[in-house]
Structure 1
Amino acid sequence: MTGPMSPPPTAAELSADPELASWRVLLGRLAGRWRTDSFAQGAQFVAGVAALADHLDHHPDIDLRYRHVTVTTVSHDVGRLTRRDRRLAVAVAALADELGLVAVPQELSTLEIGLDVMVAADVAPFWRAVLGYEPETEGGEDDCLIDPAGRHAGLWFQQMEAPRTERNRFHLDLTVPHDVVEERLAAALAAGGRLVTDEFAPAWWVLADAEGNEVCLCTWQGRG
């Protein structure tokens, strides 16, 4: 049994773990997706995951769709990934194998919206009210807001030294699996995009479309 003082697993350790080949680390969470042949098969898988979660006393988020099921886990009580998440992920992957499901981790991603601001405290209450969002951390500052139901993209505020008038103040942050980002980057450039900067790679690359609207392609790598 893992002791209470055991160090938490790192993103690098989890990404290299052979028992987690069907999972990817996205924004501090473990995420996995499996294709299903029918809604009924997906529901069967979800029921099995629910039973595993109750047995292990560690409960993930599950998204059941017609042709796939997505499972995401993090230890909410400590706000990070722990050995409990690894144990659950290994069990879920084994169940998927038993049911003959095919993992499609390359389809996974997590979307956030960034807004350039001068004073986050001045604008955050408005966005919190209009979106019905809450701070990412309980009792935390409004520098990052999330949908409490976990359905919509998070909104975070990027501190600016001076107002920006020459470009949009909103941009998208798309976190993708570390082994997908180069393919996604190449596809975006081939589709008419341009590389704004790779200064922060492999943590993120900044891209822009033909009119200068920006998106950051992000991974867990290069974040210490």
Structure 2
Amino acid sequence: MAARDDILTRPQIDAALADLPDWRYRLGGLVTVFKTPTAAGALGLIAAVGRLAEERDHHPDLDWRYNRVFIRFSSHDVDGEVTARDTGAAASVSKAAAAAGAEAQPGLYRTVDIGIDTPDADGISEVWRVALGYRRGRFGNLVDPYGRGPGVSFEQAPAPDGNRLHVDIHRSKAESGAALEKTAATGALMNSDHAPERVVVTDAQGNRLCLCTEEGHGPDL
């Protein structure tokens, strides 16, 4: 079991990422996508990542989509935060990817969460946790223990309106500009009061979503 003081602060994470151009910080983890020339190349990269994970006894969440491999490193024994084990593993995987002729495309890694506006999170969170088979996260949110489904967060709203559910779409700040421009071009209402942490988007029927970045997120240490 790792100690809490193993958790890297946001300044430490940002400093480490300066030497890890293939990777981005995302909600307690380091994420990226590698594109290989062929599907067989992706399988070879997955095998290489598996060997590195076994050698380090530190295993990522990994998803294979034809010739792209989606990877996320996080230290689950400290409530899903980033430690030096994650930055070291990320560096090793980048070397393996380069050797396989893979191209890093970290901007493709999106994370989608469900936000629920409520005046009483304790009164409803257990229903959602049990129905989804999730566990409680460090900040009162709900997370899929297998990293497959979207997270669920409960946002304090003393007087929620009729539209209590919204979707949070997380991208890295470095790649968020194009998404914001394309979304604005659809004619949606864009509220940038809390940018760059999030921009609240409202469609023509009043449905909301938030385009979020890593700004304002990270261990408070």
Q: What is the TM-score of this pair, normalised by structure 2?
A: 0.88
Q: 1:7 to 1:126 in 2, by over 3 A?
A: closer
Counterpart AA for 1:151: R
Is the counterpart of residue 87 in structure 1 residue 84 in structure 2?
no
Q: Which residue of 1 aligns with 2:25?
A: 25
The answer to whether the Cα contact below 8 Å between 2:35 and 2:67 also exists between their aligned partners in 1 is yes
Alignment of 1:25-44 (within 5 A): 25-44=25-44
What secondary structure, in the 3-state scheme, does the structure 2 residue paired with 1:34 have? Answer: strand
Q: Distance in 2 between matches of 1:164 and 1:7?
A: 38
Q: Distance in 2 between matches of 1:101 and 1:117?
A: 44
Pick the aligned partner of 1:178 from 173, 180, 183: 173
Deviation at 1:62, TM superposition (A): 1.1
Q: Which residue of 1 aligns with 2:143?
A: 146
- Deviations, residues 139-172 of structure 1 (Å, cap 9, x unaligned): x8xx31112221110111111112423xx11001
Q: Which residue of 1 aligns with 2:15?
A: 13
Counterpart AA for 1:180: E
RMSD: 1.9
The answer to whether the Cα contact below 8 Å between 1:136 and 1:146 also exists between their aligned partners in 2 is yes
The answer to whether the Cα contact below 8 Å between 2:7 and 2:78 also exists between their aligned partners in 1 is no
Deviation at 1:5, TM superposition (A): 6.2
Percentage identity across paired residues of the two chains: 34
The answer to whether the Cα contact below 8 Å between 1:174 and 1:217 also exists between their aligned partners in 2 is yes
Counterpart AA for 1:179: A
The answer to whether the Cα contact below 8 Å between 2:196 and 2:213 also exists between their aligned partners in 1 is yes
Q: Which residue of 1 aligns with 2:204?
A: 210
The answer to whether the Cα contact below 8 Å between 1:201 and 1:222 also exists between their aligned partners in 2 is no
Q: Distance in 1 between matches of 2:8 and 2:38?
A: 37
Segments ≥4 residues shifted beyond 3 Å: 4-7
Q: Distance in 1 between matches of 2:147 and 2:90?
A: 19
The answer to whether the Cα contact below 8 Å between 2:41 and 2:67 also exists between their aligned partners in 1 is no
The answer to whether the Cα contact below 8 Å between 1:118 and 1:163 also exists between their aligned partners in 2 is yes
Q: Distance in 1 between matches of 2:208 and 2:104?
A: 31
Pick the aligned partner of 2:194 from 197, 200, 213: 200
The answer to whether the Cα contact below 8 Å between 1:147 and 1:153 also exists between their aligned partners in 2 is yes
The answer to whether the Cα contact below 8 Å between 2:6 and 2:83 also exists between their aligned partners in 1 is no
What secondary structure, in the 3-state scheme, does the structure 2 residue paired with 1:148 have? Answer: coil
Alignment of 1:59-98 (within 5 A): 59-79=59-79, 80-98=81-99
Alignment of 1:39-54 (within 5 A): 39-54=39-54
Gaps of 5+ in 2: none
Q: Which residue of 2 aligns with 1:126?
A: 127
What secondary structure, in the 3-state scheme, does the structure 1 residue paired with 2:153 have? Answer: strand
Q: Distance in 1 between matches of 2:16 and 2:24?
A: 8
Q: 1:123 to 1:7 in 2, by over 3 A?
A: closer
The number of equivalent residue pairs is: 212
Q: What is the TM-score of this pair, normalised by structure 1?
A: 0.87
Counterpart AA for 2:215: Q
What secondary structure, in the 3-state scheme, does the structure 2 residue paired with 1:162 have? Answer: coil
Q: 1:90 to 1:9 in 2, by over 3 A?
A: farther
Counterpart AA for 1:34: F
Deviation at 1:7, TM superposition (A): 7.0
Structure with the bigger RCO (C-alpha within 8 Å, sep 6+) is 2
